[in-house]
Amino acid sequence: MPKSPASDGANEYITLTDHSTGKTVDFPLLPGATGPKVFDIGALYKETGYFTYDPGYTCTGACESKMTFIDGEQGILMHRGYLIEDLAKQSDYMELCYMLLNDDLPDSKQKQDFVRIITEHSMVHEQLKKFYDGFRRGAHPMAIMCGVVGALSAFYPDSIDILDPKQRTVTAHRLVAKMPTIGAMAYKYSIGQPFIYPRNDLNYAENFLHMMFAVPAEEYKVNPVIAKAMDRIFLLHADHEQNASTSTVRLAGSTGANPFASVAAGIAALWGPAHGGANEAVLNMLAEIGNADRIPEYVEKAKDPNDEFRLFGFGHRVYKNYDPRAKVLQESCHEVLDALGIEHEPLLDIAVQLEEMALKDDYFIEKKLFPNVDFYSGIILKAIGMPTTMFTVLFAIARTIGWIAQWNEMIEDPVQKLGRPRQLYTGATERPVIPIHKR
Ligand code: CMC
């Protein structure tokens, strides 16, 4: 019975039969704490001479993790056993960051200490500012994020020994603390305003808003409603198990690359419109629709197999039900607009009607396409004055904790090794190279 180290103690097996040879092989079936079982195919090639083929890794578990669980059919998301809806009501982003790095939510003292550490790490090395000057004014802030975060290892070489748990912790704290500063600086640079230093008397979300919107010429007061909404957006985006950017961070990290470089790789993966770039794309799409009368036209375009257009903010690889984060954000969206006294937001009206129409449409029903987290986040962010180009940066700031906590979990996992998928080769078979004058 083939086993890999992950399958020690397995007592259930699944038998595969190769009908061409009649050979049968048992593979260990592993139960998770909840959710579908997986079978361990680590010994498949050795036993059968075959690889698996799974483009997009739709059925492939690449690691064991204790951090986040998603039941896509039921629309459930839990972090370390706590439902996301409960965390959004009873907890906050700093507590979730603590919990993703540790095993459970902090008590008051643990939270106080953690917040103090994060606050004290929020400034960046002065020299890092010079990096921004290398970018064109008006550069997309995500382009700047990819470059600047990638450069961090050059500034903090004292915390890149991946085998030292203390250094890993310091790096995690540094990344969580500095990302809002780096993100706000990317924005300030792109609009030609001076950088604003972090302030230790403000909480995480307030500080980010302050660095984004304050100017040296006048006082800026953070609106508590906006700060609360910001914190909730951070919390809802903190981690989402093995999504494309997190898998990218794990894959880059599996080579032994330092954590700053690995997280920079994650930022690049997040930028795409199928992933974190969707929140920006949703708002652009709603603006392009412009008027509720045009919704049917866009729904038809999304359904047309000959048209590449998709409804941004709809559909998810794992959720085949309403994304629970979208539900929380839908509520928050109305709360924020009420609190800010915005009685009428045309883009929200379009979004609500678009959602209604899509949820009743057979195409979306059959394919189980529901609103995802990005559908409502953009409207909240717009209402609180966040520029559209910063939407994905916000996602990156929030997801940094997920990336670095998952990276840390991978480094500590004795079973993990270099990530190196195989392929189904369909190119030319061996042939001679003909000298150029005879080709
Ligand atoms: N609009 C119209 N049709 C869609 C959509 C959509 N938004 N999403 C999926 N489909 C169709 C797709 O054309 C395909 O049809 P068919 O079976 O006829 O070829 C079917 O549904 C299955 O789609 P898929 O692309 O095979 O599914 P996937 O799991 O690879 O894609 C997705 C997931 C998120 C990339 C996709 O739903 C999508 O492109 N959505 C729009 C972008 C978006 O909102 N992304 C944010 C995801 S949530 C936040 C995050 O992860 O960062």
Query: pLDDT tens-digit profile of 405-431?
Result: 999 999 999 999 999 999 999 999 999
Quick one: which of 169, 118, 68 has its CA closest to 408?
169
Q: In whole angstroms, what is the distance from residue 268 CA to residue 393 CA?
A: 11
Rounded to whole angstroms, the Cα distance separating 421 from 403 reads 20
Distance separating alpha carbons of residues 2 and 181, to the nearest angstrom: 50
Residue 119 confidence (pLDDT): 97
Kindly tell me the sign of the dihedral angle through the C-alpha atoms of 161, 398, 241, 266: negative
316 is catalytic: yes
Separation of CA 302 and ligand 1 centre (Å): 10
For residues 141 and 97, give the distance between their C-alpha atoms in angstroms, rounded to a whole number. Answer: 24
CB of 243 shorter than 6 A to ligand 1: yes
Q: Which of 40, 210, 316, 323 is catalytic?
A: 316
CA 337, 339, 344, 349 dihedral sign is: positive
CB 385 within 8 A of CB 220: no
Question: Which is nearest to 314 in space by CA: 304, 328, 301, 326?
Answer: 326
Q: 68, 238 in Cβ contact below 8 A?
A: no
Distance 282 CA to ligand 1 centre (A): 13
Give residue 4's pLDDT: 59
Q: Which residues contact 52 (CB under 8 A, 6 or more apart)?
A: 41, 44, 60
Atom of ligand 1 nearest to the CA of 313: 44
How many whole angstroms from 39 Cα to the centroid of ligand 1?
27
Q: What is the CA radius of gyration of the chain?
A: 24
Residue 75's Cβ-side half-sphere holds a number of Cα atoms within 13 Å equal to: 17
Residues of the chain with pLDDT under 50: none
In the numeric block, which tokens belong to residue 434?
A: 């003909």
Give me the torsion for CA of 379, 384, 387, 392, rounded to 10°.
Answer: -60
Mean confidence (pLDDT) of the chain? 94
Q: Is 437 a catalytic residue?
A: no
Q: Which of 414, 63, 110, 371 is nearest to 241 (CA)?
A: 63
pLDDT for the residue 5:
57
- The answer to whether 67 and 241 have CB atoms below 8 angstroms apart is yes
pTM over cut 0.85:
yes
3-state helix/strand/coil string of 102-166: CCCCCCHHHHHHHHHHHHHCCCCCHHHHHHHHCCCCCCCHHHHHHHHHHHHHHHCHHHCCCCCHH
Amino acid 258 reads N
Helix axes 141-155, 165-191, angle to 10 degrees: 140
Residue 370 Cα to ligand 1 midpoint, Å, equals 10
8 Å CB contact between 155 and 213: no
CA-proximal residue: ligand 1, atom 36 (nearest): 315
Q: How far apart are CA 215 and CA 221, in angstroms?
A: 11
Give which of 314, 333, 334 is closest to 323, Cα–Cα.
314
Q: What is the pLDDT of residue 347?
A: 87
Quick one: pLDDT at residue 2? 54
Query: pLDDT tens, 278-311?
Result: 988 999 999 999 999 999 999 999 999 999 999 9
